[in-house]
């Protein structure tokens, strides 16, 4: 999958048994596979079909990597993932896990959006010491955080709108539009598309890592 | 017009001569009248029909008060108007002029949106010394400024989306939705509705001023 | 939370046990906490984990304050909440409870919208005797009531569109648009955003109360 | 044109000379023809090609009947046309003229929307003395007037949204949606469709007139 | 309820017990009441709380009149209700029942839309013998039928878009827009608003009946 | 251009001189070229740069073929183009001219939509005698005609929505949605896309013609 | 059903028993009937009411033909159906089954969209050997495949957008719009309208087959 | 402007004299300034106020850098810009010029979209020899090109939808949605936002260049 999108399994809309079966085939072929957008039934099927040591869960268990012990590649790329609130974590975890599978070191900084500007500036200063090559920022409701982060750093920032909230502009619509209208340097992926954001950030980070390793 | 909306003239869509004629009738009746959303032709008609001392222009001459020397009432209410960029000034001026006509002292702080967070905090500290009773914040594109201002003060903040920009969410749509989705304490008026924002802020300020004056 | 939004818990989308746990932590920290947008499961969890004397329910039990006996602060601000129909009451109750938690006396006048103009005028005359500092008006379908109320009083009126109905413009869309296009002096919050309307009305009322108390 | 829509000429989008030519043919055939949505160029062409006594203009000359002296038929039906503001008059005049051409007596009551509820009730009482068979109400912005009128009378009321205003819901969108969501007994035609409203009201009035004349 | 909308009960969104209780109160007060948009639970509650002779069901039991034997008034008005397909019948039945409660004789002609033009012309000829004063036409998908019917008769035709189908323009959107854009003489109510269509048609029919009875 | 879209020139948005220059190059290369969506300036440039015998105009001169006498190929395919009204003719002419350039015989039947059902049935009977292989039907406003035509014939019918009208659903939106929701066998191209409709119809007709010629 | 749409049963929204009953009546009348958009309950009812040999299922059993042994007619038309991904198969199967019932030979090529350009070109070359008369291409998300296929072949290609995915443009919206904006020669049916696509493709194929058979 | 957006001048909506004046001030301060979205009047003002050697125009003169001879910085980053058609070049030129001003070498490959897949593959192979660090792809109508390019390379690809076309999905809407729904690894900026795309691509390229230069 050199230039295509990573071979992950989108569980949503598939039968749990089908997910398990495709996952087993993929593990047999390549040693590991990422599965995203898991529901309760998918989770139960994975737990009854794979041993605990073969599953790496995301924070809220809505994504998972199953494997046979084969490690993911290591490229030297570094991707940070930031969320505004707790409701944004599932989408952020998708981005983190796909970046990890694509070889990047990942740094998760969750729930800083409501922390006030001063704590955010502090977090960004600490982050810059760790020299991320790309930053994914997930945010719902009015979606301001990516704009603010991009104004504080000089690495590429990718905004991911998250489908939270109620009323006009809910389900990520206000967040998507305000990221597209942002006055900062920002690129955007679709609502809830943590998978695309992580893949894109990894592509940047791996391009940087390759340049670094040529020294 | 105690509880109705102020008797201003909306020039847009009216013949210049009609605007002049309605304005003259209104000045004859009450001494003053505010005219909003003026085009080039309206401006020329006003200038050829009223003496310079009878016209108070907004900053970019897209709104004006014509009068016969009668001053507007003074209530003691204080309204601040803040804009994110220079493109937001016309809408802000409408808000400022209607608040003035309704008796309020007005404080205009324009073009702070791109100034960076530290200058904004400084401006807000200076503003709080002047004790505004209500704050109108006009912002286009992604419309973030009202959210930020409301997080820094404890007086009521009214957001006015401004119809700037191009692409998805342009013409005030992203700004309106992100103000409606804002995590701060904020109320909103329609896109470009500086007139409503100023009227509403004046209503708050005049309610506060009345309470103050009962001492 | 001086200038931020009040620290309430948005139950919708959270596990009932998580809501109880966050609520207990908040009560331990500050004595009281408001919980909004409760479902059946959340209600059962609250009832089995808190004593009846520790819970103050909204009219239809979709919002609640849990507390350890600590009273909410009293500021002297006065907020009225009016609804057009019975379907608007849940949203109105959110506004009433947050205004109460923020220190205001609250006056609830529900279900006047279909009562005909004469009863409405009567209610508004009675209301003015109680001297509200701000009025929240919740209305669904075509959302006319806030416009009418604002034409009858001279205190600030905040419209809250409610997500009722079926067909084109349902789910609060017609109500939101007609409040934004209103010919009266009106500001608006998002569809169903009783929480924001109550917070904003309380900010006005508390600003007025502070002015009053300086006498 | 017994059951089809009346054979009027929609000038908008046609060359002025073509409009004159079609009009002449129609006058030659039937004695009279209504022309709607006229621009400045169409007006000039009509004035240079028809004698003043052959043209009956609408109030603002954006519609006209040209004729050779042939009167329109008289059916005995009575149609009232009411507008909220002055901006709604052009659309109302289309309704009035088509109802007249279809044989109805017409009663125009313009600009009552901002007059306050008491003057409106007075106008409606006076109107009921004239026993209209159907009422067309044209209103822009939030489009409330048809709802209010329908609550005061018991003849059929047809709402016509008018494409005024700026911001979200402008160009008749808020008015259309709030008429569709109205709590009163109301039917609706498209935005600016004075022509359809007048045709439909005339169909009602002529049905009533026929019943009346059977005595 | 002379000029207001009829006092029916909208069951949707109400507890079944509440519906029964409001219905009993209304029957006690006026002898009869219409209940619309019933779900399975509402149906069961009505059946266990009212005797069979006290309930008049609509065709698919999604609307009902409960009564104590009191008959509805008889005005002499005549309303026809036509549907394009079987999926439109529930909405049509609402229109039929409200027109009946408001005193009109009703004529139901269902499922003619797919019958081909010749059967439709035949049905319309038969219908004209029964001299309806107003015709309600319910149609989903592309909503053509009201346009066709209005071209075949000269009584007022009210179109009701029905929320059927899938894909772009589904849920009544295409039907609403094509009725608003219709080249025939047509007025429209909201999607699925059989209740409004029936009320409006009854208002026309009762106005005609009054004229007839003056002979 | 065997499988790609025909190499026509889209004049809209291009400088008149550029259009002439591209056209001359194309004529030099292939003998003929179709130019679509011409404005007044483009027309003047074509007339001053090409001899009258070198230009074949569409009915209203908004499209043209320029050539050096080289004829278009002849395939034996037959394409009919039908319009509902006169406003649909420009779009229909684009379809007709591209089908002609692609080798088909074309049959234009314009302005039958308001002619009533009986004349339409007559036209369709006459048309079937000419054995078209595909039919393009252009219609604006509510876009009913393609649905009706497809119910009367058994050759493939392609609907083209036309951007006429005012109010909700105008500019082809109602027509597009009702063609997509049509109960007849119909495929659709974009609003005003006469060029695509003609190309697609020609592809069908040429496929049929090839089958015919194999005899 | 010579020129109307085929008499299939749309199961969605119907009671399982009603579907069985209508199906039995149709089989009794014509020997066979297609049923589309089946849910789990419908499937169970069909399986308990028809013998296995009387049911032909689609690949995922969401459509079926029930019959009494009567075969479908054979016309000699050839229709190919191609899908981009596995999520598009249900819609494609509807198209395939209706084309089969209308007499065409069908060729199903599923899941080529992610296969890379070279495999797609290979598949298209193989397909051209089988000489399809029309090609249906079903694609979700960004809906590119019909555009690409139409650029590789010279038979008519019909695009069917499929309602997959999440985020902005999901549920077939992006796919529909990009097919309508396609630079290839393409006609389109509504989202998920496999039934219409198959009917339309069969109409083309049967027209071609008739031409072929005249030899 | 280390982390903020580059200080360019957005000419659209500004008076030509104001643009010249701001440009002169900026040149005085920093030696160079980029001006975007120029109209005819802006162009004339720049030409009469700056010497030819002081202006670097974009291909179609809708963007320009004015300078006093000061060169832009050189970072070693490499950005490629690709367009589908000629209509996309203005947006692409904005991206190219801002990337150049931010220090990057730029490679422009315009108008490959309609060239067929084989020429595109060839161009991409040639491009990879020049080792771009990031690629901007501008495309209108259905916006396919960025998806295809991203599947052929392994550097980050940023899609820019362009506001071309007519009909549903025009003005960049179909292109934006299909880029957001793309199955390739892609990030997106707003419609016509060449400025943002170029800024973002330069941020990537400069991050890579910095890594390279550490060797
Ligand atoms: N009904 C509500 N609508 C909007 N915001 C709310 C609501 N209820 C609570 N909140 C706020 O939502 C924010 C996030 O809440 P939580 O997810 O509970 O941490 C907090 O600032 C709450 O004060
Ligand atoms: N303002 C109007 N709105 C809608 N239809 C109209 C209007 N004026 C005339 N028409 C009708 O439009 C149809 C086409 O008009 P024309 O294009 O003049 O032949 C005729 O049936 C007219 O009666
Ligand atoms: N009216 C039209 N609608 C859509 N495409 C067109 C039209 N006229 C020409 N085209 C095509 O648009 C593409 C770009 O045209 P051009 O911009 O002239 O190079 C060419 O493939 C033309 O065949
Ligand atoms: N084409 C463009 N699109 C978006 N932003 C731009 C564009 N050109 C300049 N800008 C930025 O817009 C902001 C406001 O510009 P100005 O109104 O010229 O002060 C500045 O930060 C510019 O860098
Ligand atoms: Mg956020
Ligand atoms: Mg802003
Ligand atoms: Mg209401
Ligand atoms: Mg109004
Ligand atoms: Mg229908
Ligand atoms: Mg039409
Ligand atoms: Mg696809
Ligand atoms: Mg493109």
Q: Is the pLDDT of residue F185 over 70?
A: yes
Decide the pairing of beta strands F78-83 and F64-67: unpaired
Instruction: Extract the tokens encoding B90.
Output: 């016309």
Domain assignment present for residue C1? The answer is no
Within chain A, how many helices (H) and strands (E) appear? 7, 9
Query: What is the C-alpha separation between A198 and A206, in angstroms, rounded?
Result: 12
Which residue's CA is minimally distant from atom 9 of ligand 2? D10
The residue assigned the tokens 């490679």 is H107
Please give the pLDDT value at position F193: 98
Q: Which stretches of chain F are DSSP H helices?
A: 16-30, 40-49, 89-101, 117-129, 145-152, 173-180, 194-213
Please give the pLDDT value at position D115: 61
SS3 call for F82? strand
CATH number, domain containing residue G103: 3.40.50.1970
Q: Is the pLDDT of residue D140 over 50?
A: yes
Inspect the interface and report whether the beta carbons of C191 and A87 lie closer than 8 Å: no
Distance B85 CA to ligand 6 centre (A): 7
Cβ neighbours, 10 Å, residue H34:
26
On whether both B18 and B88 belong to a single domain, the answer is: no
On whether both C170 and C197 belong to a single domain, the answer is: yes
Residue of F152, F188, F212 with shortest CB distance to G211:
F212
Binding site membership of D26 for ligand 2 (Cβ less than 6 Å): no
Please give the pLDDT value at position C2: 44
Decide the pairing of beta strands E64-67 and E55-57: antiparallel
Please give the pLDDT value at position D5: 55
Q: Is the pLDDT of residue C3 over 70?
A: no
Inspect the interface and report whether the beta carbons of B114 and A183 lie closer than 8 Å: yes
Number of domains within chain H: 2
Instruction: Extract the tokens encoding G138.
Output: 């079903």
Question: In this structure, are residues C16 and C42 in contact, taking their beta carbons and an 8 Å threshold?
Answer: yes
Q: Which of D174, D190, D195 to mutate to test the interface with F (most CBs of F within 10 A)?
A: D190
On whether both E181 and E113 belong to a single domain, the answer is: yes
On whether both D17 and D49 belong to a single domain, the answer is: yes
Query: What is the C-alpha separation between H92 and G71, in angstroms, rounded?
Result: 58
Q: Is the pLDDT of residue F83 over 60?
A: yes
The 3 state secondary structure assigned to chain C is CCCCCCCCEECCCCCHHHHHHHHHHHHHHHCEEEEECCCHHHHHHHHHHCCHHHEEECCCCCCEEEECCCCCCCCCCEEEEEECCHHHHHHHHHHHHHHHHCCCEEEEECCCCCCCHHHHHHHHHHHHHCCCCEEEEEECCCCCHHHHHHHHCCCCEEEEECCCCCCCCCCCHHHHHHHHCCCCCCEECCCCCHHHHHHHHHHHHHHHHHHHHCC
Q: Is the pLDDT of residue E100 over 50?
A: yes
Please give the pLDDT value at position E5: 55
Query: What is the C-alpha separation between G185 and F111, in angstroms, rounded?
Result: 26
Please give the pLDDT value at position C146: 96
Phi and psi at residue C146, in whole multiples of 5°?
A: -55, -40
- How is residue G84 annotated by DSSP? S
Residues contacting A22, CB < 8 A, separation 6+: A9, A14
Quick one: average pLDDT of C204-208? 98
Question: In this structure, are residues B30 and B14 in contact, taking their beta carbons and an 8 Å threshold?
Answer: no
Lowest mean pLDDT among A132-136, B115-119, B161-165, D24-28: B115-119
Domain assignment present for residue H191? The answer is yes
* Touch of B by E (3+ CB pairs closer than 8 Å): no
* Touch of H by C (3+ CB pairs closer than 8 Å): no
Which residue's CA is minimally distant from atom 17 of ligand 3? F10
Which residue's CA is minimally distant from atom 12 of ligand 4? H10
Please give the pLDDT value at position F114: 62
SS3 call for E134? strand
DSSP per-residue codes, H137-193: EEE-TT--HHHHHHHH-SS-EEEEE-----STTTTTHHHHHHHHT-SSS-EE--TT-
**Which pLDDT band, with edges at 50, 70 and 90, does G2 fall under?**
very low
Query: What is the C-alpha separation between F11 and F28, in angstroms, rounded?
Result: 18
Largest CA distance in chain D: 53
Inspect the interface and report whether the beta carbons of H189 and A211 lie closer than 8 Å: no
Binding site membership of F42 for ligand 3 (Cβ less than 6 Å): no
Which residue's CA is minimally distant from atom 9 of ligand 1? C10
What dihedral angle (degrees, nearest 10) is formed by the CA atoms of B4, B5, B11, B16?
A: 40
Query: What is the C-alpha separation between B152 and H103, in angstroms, rounded?
Result: 38
On whether both F89 and F51 belong to a single domain, the answer is: no
Q: Is the pLDDT of residue F195 over 90?
A: yes
Please give the pLDDT value at position E4: 46
What dihedral angle (degrees, nearest 10) is formed by the CA atoms of B143, B145, B150, B153?
A: -170
The last residue of one of the domains, among H19, H36, H67, is H67
Query: What is the C-alpha separation between A108 and A82, in angstroms, rounded?
Result: 6
From first to last of its 215 residues, what are the pLDDT tens digits of chain H?
444 456 899 999 999 999 999 999 999 999 999 999 999 999 999 999 999 999 999 999 999 999 999 999 999 999 999 998 889 999 999 999 999 999 999 999 998 876 677 888 899 999 999 999 999 999 999 999 999 999 999 999 999 999 999 999 999 999 999 999 999 999 999 999 999 999 999 999 999 999 999 76
Provide the angle, in degrees to the nearest 10, between the axes of the packed helices F194-213 and F89-101.
Answer: 40
pLDDT tens digits for range C81-137: 999 888 999 999 999 999 999 999 999 999 887 667 788 889 999 999 999 999 999
SS3 call for B201? helix
Please give the pLDDT value at position B113: 74
Phi and psi at residue H4, in whole multiples of 5°?
A: -80, 180
Please give the pLDDT value at position A113: 74
Binding site membership of D36 for ligand 2 (Cβ less than 6 Å): yes
pLDDT tens digits for range H13-53: 999 999 999 999 999 999 999 999 999 999 999 999 999 99
Quick one: average pLDDT of G110-116? 77
- Quick one: closest CA in G to H141, which residue? G181
Quick one: average pLDDT of E137-142? 96
Binding site membership of D25 for ligand 2 (Cβ less than 6 Å): no
Please give the pLDDT value at position A114: 61
Nearest to G197 by CA among G160, G144, G164: G160
Lowest mean pLDDT among B114-123, F5-14, G161-170: B114-123
Q: Which domain holds residue B189?
A: 78-213
DSSP per-residue codes, chain D: --SS----EE-TTS-HHHHHHHHHHHHHHHSEEEEES--HHHHHHHHHHS-GGGEEE-TTSSSEEEESSPPPP----EEEEEESSGGGHHHHHHHHHHHHHTT-EEEEE-S-TTS-HHHHHHHHHHHHHT--SEEEEEE-TT--HHHHHHHH-SS-EEEEE-----STTTTTHHHHHHHHT-SSS-EE--TT-HHHHHHHHHHHHHHHHHHHHT-
Please give the pLDDT value at position F153: 94
Please give the pLDDT value at position G7: 80
Question: What residues are paired with A137 via a beta bridge?
Answer: A82, A159
Question: What residues are paired with C55 via a beta bridge?
Answer: C66
Distance F183 CA to ligand 10 centre (A): 16
For F145, how many CA atoms within 13 A lie in the half-sphere containing its CB?
A: 32
On whether both A203 and A108 belong to a single domain, the answer is: yes
On whether both D169 and D194 belong to a single domain, the answer is: yes
Query: What is the C-alpha separation between A40 and C63, in angstroms, rounded?
Result: 28
Binding site membership of C36 for ligand 1 (Cβ less than 6 Å): yes
SS3 call for B56? strand
Q: Which stretches of chain H are DSSP H helices?
A: 16-30, 40-49, 89-101, 117-129, 145-152, 173-180, 194-213
Distance H113 CA to ligand 12 centre (A): 7
**Which pLDDT band, with edges at 50, 70 and 90, does G88 fall under?**
very high
On whether both H60 and H107 belong to a single domain, the answer is: no
Does an H or E element contain G145, and which? helix G145-152
Does an H or E element contain A158, and which? strand A157-161
Domain assignment present for residue B2? The answer is no
For C88, how many CA atoms within 13 A lie in the half-sphere containing its CB?
A: 33
**Residue F36 to residues F43, F87, G147, H166: CA-CA distances in angstroms?**
11, 17, 22, 13
Q: DSSP 3-state helix, strand, coil percentages of chain B (rounded to 5)?
A: 45, 20, 40
Four-residue CA torsion sign, F142, F145, F148, F153: negative
Query: What is the C-alpha separation between B130 and C176, in angstroms, rounded?
Result: 34
On whether both B19 and B99 belong to a single domain, the answer is: no
For A198, how many CA atoms within 13 A lie in the half-sphere containing its CB?
A: 29
Average pLDDT, chain G: 94
Q: Is the pLDDT of residue A146 over 50?
A: yes
Domain assignment present for residue H3? The answer is no
Q: Is the pLDDT of residue E119 over 90?
A: no
Query: What is the C-alpha separation between A201 and A198, in angstroms, rounded?
Result: 5
Q: What is the ipTM of this complex?
A: 0.95
Provide the angle, in degrees to the nearest 10, between the axes of the packed helices A89-101 and A194-213.
Answer: 40
Domain assignment present for residue G2? The answer is no
Residue of B12, B13, B176 with shortest CB distance to D168:
B176
Residues, CB within 5 angstroms of ligand 11 (ion): G 84, 139, 141
The last residue of one of the domains, among F37, F67, F97, is F67
Cβ neighbours, 10 Å, residue E57:
17
On whether both H140 and H51 belong to a single domain, the answer is: no
Q: Is the pLDDT of residue F5 over 70?
A: no
Quick one: average pLDDT of F45-57? 97
Residues in C closer than 8 angstroms to B2, CB to CB, are 154
Instruction: Extract the tokens encoding F206.
Output: 């040429």
Domain assignment present for residue B176? The answer is yes
Largest CA distance in chain C: 53
Residues in B closer than 8 angstroms to D164, CB to CB, are 13
For F138, how many CA atoms within 13 A lie in the half-sphere containing its CB?
A: 33
Residues in E closer than 8 angstroms to G194, CB to CB, are none
Domain assignment present for residue B163? The answer is yes
CATH number, domain containing residue A42: 3.30.1370
The residue assigned the tokens 């078209």 is F132
Nearest listed ligand to the Cα of residue D90? 2
Please give the pLDDT value at position B186: 97
From first to last of its 215 residues, what are the pLDDT tens digits of chain B?
444 456 899 999 899 999 999 999 999 999 999 999 999 999 999 999 999 999 999 999 999 999 999 999 999 999 999 998 889 999 999 999 999 999 999 999 998 876 577 888 899 999 999 999 999 999 999 999 999 999 999 999 999 999 999 999 999 999 999 999 999 999 999 999 999 999 999 999 999 999 999 86
Inspect the interface and report whether the beta carbons of A5 and H183 lie closer than 8 Å: yes
On whether both E154 and E196 belong to a single domain, the answer is: yes
Binding site membership of F6 for ligand 3 (Cβ less than 6 Å): yes
- Quick one: closest CA in D to E180, which residue? D190
Residue of D87, D114, D167 with shortest CB distance to B192:
D167
On whether both E126 and E196 belong to a single domain, the answer is: yes
CA distance H178 to chain A (A): 10
Nearest to A134 by CA among H213, H192, H133: H133
The last residue of one of the domains, among A67, A91, A109, is A67
**In a mutational test of the pocket of ligand 3, which residue from F1, F5, F10 has the highest number of ligand atoms less than 8 Å from its CB?**
F10
Domain assignment present for residue B73? The answer is no
Q: Is the pLDDT of residue G78 over 60?
A: yes
Q: Which stretches of G4-105 are DSSP H helices?
A: 16-30, 40-49, 89-101
């Amino acid at each position: 999958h050199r230039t295509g999108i990573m071979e992950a399994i989108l569980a949503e809309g598939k039968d749990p048994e089908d997910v398990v079966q495709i996952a087993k085939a993929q593990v047999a072929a390549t040693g590991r596979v990422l599965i995203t957008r898991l529901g309760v039934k998918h989770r139960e099927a994975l737990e009854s079909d794979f041993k605990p040591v073969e599953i790496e869960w995301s924070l809220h268990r809505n994504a998972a990597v199953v494997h046979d012990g084969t490690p993911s590649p290591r490229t030297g790329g570094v991707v940070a993932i930031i969320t505004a609130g707790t409701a944004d974590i599932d989408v952020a975890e998708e981005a983190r896990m796909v970046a990890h599978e694509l070889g990047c070191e990942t740094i998760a900084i969750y729930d800083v959006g409501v922390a006030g500007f001063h704590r955010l500036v502090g977090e960004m200063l600490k982050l810059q010491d760790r020299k991320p090559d790309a930053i994914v920022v997930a945010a719902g409701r009015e979606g301001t955080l990516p704009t603010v982060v991009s104004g504080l750093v000089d690495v590429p920032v990718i905004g991911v709108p998250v489908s939270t909230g109620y009323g006009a502009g809910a389900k990520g619509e206000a967040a998507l539009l305000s990221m597209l209208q942002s006055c900062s340097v920002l690129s955007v992926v679709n609502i809830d598309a943590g998978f695309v954001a992580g893949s894109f950030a990894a592509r940047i980070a791996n391009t940087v890592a390759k340049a670094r390793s040529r020294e």
